[in-house]
Each structure stands twice: as C-alpha cells, then as structure tokens.
Structure 1
Amino acid sequence: MIYLFLANGFEEIEALATVDVLRRASLDVVTVGVGGKRITGSHKIEVTVDVEEKDVSFDGLDMVILPGGVPGTPNLEKSKVVREVLRHCEEHKKYIAAICAAPSILGHMGLLKGHAACCFPGYETELDAQTVSMDPVCVSGKIITARGAGVAVEFALAIVGELLGSEKSKSLRKSMQCI
C-alpha cells in the first residue's frame, strides 16, 4: 500500500497526476487527508481523500508520497502523523517520494543525508542532501524526488519503475502517449 498525503494548499497536479498514474499501474494508492476528509489544493480544487491521518496504519505500508505546494508543504510538515510515517519508512527501508517543495521536509528530518535529491528551485538549501541534482526526477536508493508540477507524470512513472520495474513503466508511458 502507498500513502499519498494531502494537506490544504497542496499542488493539485503533483498529487492527482501521481495518484492517476499509479492507479493506472494497478498500485494500491490511498490518499490521506491531513486535517480532514476534504482537502483544498493551492488552486482551490477540493479533493475528498480516502482516509484521514488518524486512520493511518503501518500494516502493509510500502511507500509514502508527499506532493508539494504552498502552504501544502508546511502543512504536511506540521503533521505528527506524516513525520511518523516518514520515520517508519526510513527505518523499514520503504520508499519515500516527494516533489516540488516537499523534499524540504525530508531534508529537515535528515532523511536525505547520503542521498542525491532535487526540488523546486529555491529550496535547495533545505535539502541537506549529499548531492543536489538538477535532474527533473532523482532516484537515490529508496528516495525519489522531483522538481515540480511540470514533471509530475515523470515523477509518477519513476515510482512505477522502482516498484514494478522499467518494463511496466515503459508500457504505461507508451499507453499514455508519453513517448
């Protein structure tokens, strides 16, 4: 199971494109609301999540994904549950993915030490990573990061590639005409 956390002010493209692509790949993605069941994105798109943060369980958890956006990223970072899930994933060698400003949360928690990572321009000093990559998407061990909304589909396809293999990612890319 994959948790994708949403907090008010999240970047809609980063969250919803990722959920869409992962579900096309038949991955079990559960959207989790920080602060409620209905979460409003930075462009005023309201989303009803699958579960609230109080309902989060570590049973069967394979990955956590954090979309960016402002004030979505700071709202995610304030959540004790988000931080607990990130620590759990780190301790149990599960995947962690973050896009745009959200990799800064990983940096603040020290999760990027020894890793390469990328983020939205201007957040590089928040990463505390071994290497700051200028690539659109960066995979470093079990950490996947991306620069922003414009690469949301590439971010999701990288996640598919890591979890299901490059052939599944290529097949999905072709079916979506992302040639």
Structure 2
Amino acid sequence: MANVVVFFAQGFEEIEGLATVDILRRAGHTVHTVGLGSEVITGSHHIPVKMDDVLDTFYWADIDALVLPGGLPGATHLRDDEFLIKKLKEYSKKGKIIAAICAAPIALHRAGLLKGKKYTCYPGVEKDINQGTYTGQLVETDGKLITGCGPAATFEFAYTIAEALGTETSALREGMQYNKLLKK
C-alpha cells in the first residue's frame, strides 16, 4: 500500500483532515499526520489533534501522496510555509499525487501547481487563484492533482485519493454506507 502525508496547520478544517486520514487508513494506506510547527494542532472548531510528526523532523522517504486539508486560517498557514511549498513542487515533479481541499488550493497556487490544470475549491477562494481552470465540481482530478470543494466533499475527495493510489473503493464505500447517501 501507499505512504500518504496529510499536513495539518493551526486552524485546519477538522472534517477534511481527520475524515481523509480515517478513510485512507481504512483503505489500507499508511497515513502520516504531520503538523506545521507543533505536535498538537488545533482545528478551526477548537479540536486539538496530536500529530504523528512535525514538518521540521519528518523523514521524507517513499511518499506517494501529499494531502492538504482546508479550513481557515489553516490553509493560509499551509500556503505561507516556505518548506512545504518547496516539498509540493518537488513531489509534483516526481509525479506524486498532490491533493488539496476547500481553501487549501491556495497553497497549490503559490507552488505554481495549478498552471494549466482544472481544479475546484471552496466557492469564492478561486478569486485568489489566477492559474488553472476553476470547475466548481465536488471533486476534480487533473492528472496527479486532486482537489475538493469543501467539507461535504471530504468522503469523495478521500475515495478519489485512494483510487488514485490504486485502491478499489467499492467495498469501502458500501461498508461505510456511502452508497446509501448517493441513492437519496
């Protein structure tokens, strides 16, 4: 299975970060939660979460996907972290999966990863992005780039990442009752 890093910054959107970690782990992937500047990161709804590691000391080996949850001011902190922007560029050049949801595509924009790509984000955030083509879809995939539009897109966003990593998700979707949601 794949190695995935989910980056957390103070003020992240809890649903987007934690549900993505949960679904990818259920899919059998190794998921590393990595905090920017701290081992305990507090989300935008005041829920503190203990990370597996911090960005400054994380060991970068055999990583298959980098994932950025949104939320404010979490996405702004991700966008403003020079080291993270460098890693996004590096891993994109290596052909790895790069995924961002909600407001987090602003970090992809800063890294120059949206040029010539289709993407989605939280409505209104696209006004701060002058690269790529905004689609407004729930989840958008363009090559190895995956973006989601907000908290309600989290399940589909995480399943899309899992599928891009080679996981068949139909049993997982059924087991989590996701298919019943789609039938309404």
TM range (shorter): over 0.9
**Normalization by structure 2: what TM-score?**
0.92
1:34-49 correspondence runs (5 A): 34-49=36-51
CA contact (8 A) 2:79 2:106 kept: no
Which one of 74, 77, 89 corresponds to residue 76 of structure 2? 74
Q: 1:50 aligns with which of 46, 49, 52?
A: 52
The CA deviation at 1:57 is 3.0
Could you tell me which residue of structure 1 aligns to residue 18 of structure 2? 16
User: Which residue of structure 2 lines up, in the alignment, with residue 28 of structure 1?
Assistant: 30
Per-residue displacement from partner, 1:137-170 (whole Å, max 9, x unpaired)? 00100000000001111100111111124xx122
Runs of 4+ in 1 over 4 A off after TM superposition: none
CA contact (8 A) 1:21 1:153 kept: yes
- What is the CA–CA distance in structure 2 between the aligned matches of 1:45 and 1:114, rounded to whole Å? 36
**Residue 177 (str. 1) matches residue 174 (str. 2):** no
Distance 2:130 2:108 in 1: 9
> Secondary structure of 2:45's match?
coil
Match of 1:148 in 2: 150
Which letter does structure 1 place at the counterpart of 2:175?
Answer: S
Q: 2:139 aligns with which of 116, 137, 140?
A: 137
The residue matched to 2:90 in structure 1 has which SS? helix
Please give the root-mean-square deviation of Cα atoms over the aligned residues, in Å. Answer: 1.1
One-letter amino acid of the counterpart of residue 117, structure 1: Y
Gaps of 5+ in 1: none
